[in-house]
């Protein structure tokens, strides 16, 4: 539907205006997840890794531990501005998953954190395959809030109730439709391998509100709706502090790592 497409585009482009909140409120990525991907793909000094839709560089900073040369690609000017401030030693270029401004066979791996659900699946898969070297791989990483824990569950409920309900699931990483071009039956890739890792983020009450504001379903709404979310998060904070006796809050996640290798001999020039 045209209205849904317009709303989805508004969600996808909402991050630039909340880049500061994104940097302050979003979690990092667990070291064990990065070690797993690096070991599986034999990444290290001499390797080249692209962080696609890099945002403010949360995943880029985690990828430093691989020792690989890093290049970031990000479409939003607001996000790139923050990236350049907080990750000044890694080059970041303007680009989208469907049009990556890098040469054929440039990278050993292309990573994307919290982003694949925004890509157009077919065009993005073709473009990622073009940028990868023979034997290269694409890695999708997601921090998904873990509903087994009360704070994460109630946080999700607030966001869901203030979202475009029918788009909420489709714009979460666990929706799964992004995986279609990477399955064994696909043209460019050989299948999807998945591992999960526990993760947690310790937040002050103010940072939990920043975490909420950085979510596209909140950032894209009118100011009155955003203020309503802030009030509901503040109430949740009060309840959680009473329940736990702690001022700081712990938001629990399951970090999912998906790896898909490029088929041998598949390269498309521009």
Encoding tokens for residue 69?
Answer: 């040369």
For residue 268, tell me if it sits in a domain: no
Percent of the chain residues past pLDDT 90, beyond the cut? 55
In sign, the C-alpha dihedral spanning 70, 75, 80, 83 is negative
Given this model, what pLDDT does residue 178 score?
A: 80
Please calculate the CA angle 264-142-24 and round it to the nearest 5 degrees: 130
- Reported as type and span, the H/E element at residue 258 is strand 249-261
Q: Which of 44, 262, 263 lies closest to 138 in space, CA to CA?
A: 262
For residue 86, tell me if it sits in a domain: yes
What phi, psi does 201 have (nearest 5°)? Answer: -130, 120
Strands of 92-93's sheet, edge to edge?
Answer: 92-93, 69-73, 48-52, 107-113, 132-145, 249-261, 193-203
For residue 266, tell me if it sits in a domain: no
Domain hosting 193: range is 2-261
Does the pLDDT of residue 23 top 90, yes or no? no
Specify the higher pLDDT residue, 23 or 96. 96
Encoding tokens for residue 11?
Answer: 């969600």
The pLDDT tens digits of the residues spanning 98-140 come to: 999 999 999 999 999 999 888 999 999 999 999 999 999 999 9
For residue 270, tell me if it sits in a domain: no
Q: Which of 69, 72, 70, 67 lies closest to 39 in space, CA to CA?
A: 67
For residue 159, tell me if it sits in a domain: yes
For residue 222, tell me if it sits in a domain: yes
Count of domains forming the chain: 1
Torsion, CA 55, CA 61, CA 63, CA 64, rounded to 10:
140
For residue 238, tell me if it sits in a domain: yes
The pLDDT tens digits of the residues spanning 180-214 come to: 888 876 789 999 999 999 999 998 888 888 888 77
Does the pLDDT of residue 47 top 70, yes or no? yes
Given this model, what pLDDT does residue 238 score?
A: 92
If you average pLDDT over residues 232-243, what whole number do you get?
Answer: 90
CATH code for the domain of 105: 3.40.50.150
**Pairing status of strand 193-203 against strand 249-261:** antiparallel
For residue 209, tell me if it sits in a domain: yes
In sign, the C-alpha dihedral spanning 44, 126, 71, 26 is negative
Span of 10-19, 36-45, 60-69, 87-96 with lowest mean pLDDT: 10-19
């Amino acid at each position: 539907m045209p209205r849904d497409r317009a709303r989805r585009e508004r969600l996808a482009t909402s991050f630039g205006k909340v880049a500061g909140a994104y940097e302050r409120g979003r979690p990092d990525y667990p070291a064990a997840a990065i070690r797993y991907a690096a070991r599986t793909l034999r990444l290290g000094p001499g390797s080249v890794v692209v962080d696609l839709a890099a945002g403010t560089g949360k995943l880029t900073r985690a990828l430093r531990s691989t020792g690989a040369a890093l290049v970031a690609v990000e479409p939003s000017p607001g996000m790139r501005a923050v990236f350049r401030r907080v990750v000044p030693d890694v080059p970041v270029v303007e680009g989208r998953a469907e049009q990556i401004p890098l040469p054929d066979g440039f990278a050993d791996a292309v990573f994307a954190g919290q982003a694949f659900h925004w890509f157009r699946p077919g065009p993005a898969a073709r473009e990622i395959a073009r940028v990868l070297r023979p034997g290269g791989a694409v890695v999708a990483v997601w921090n998904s809030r873990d509903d087994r824990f009360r704070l994460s569950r109630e946080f999700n409920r607030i966001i869901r109730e203030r979202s475009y309900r029918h788009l909420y699931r489709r714009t979460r990483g666990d929706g799964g439709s992004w995986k279609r071009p990477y399955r064994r039956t696909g043209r460019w890739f050989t299948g999807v391998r998945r591992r999960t890792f526990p993760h947690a983020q310790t937040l002050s009450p103010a940072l939990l509100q920043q975490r909420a504001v950085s979510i596209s379903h909140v950032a894209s709404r009118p100011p009155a709706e955003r203020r309503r979310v802030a009030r509901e998060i503040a109430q949740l904070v009060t309840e959680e502090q009473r329940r736990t006796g702690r001022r700081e809050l712990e938001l629990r996640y399951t970090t999912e790592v998906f790896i898909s290798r490029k088929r041998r001999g598949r390269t498309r020039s521009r």
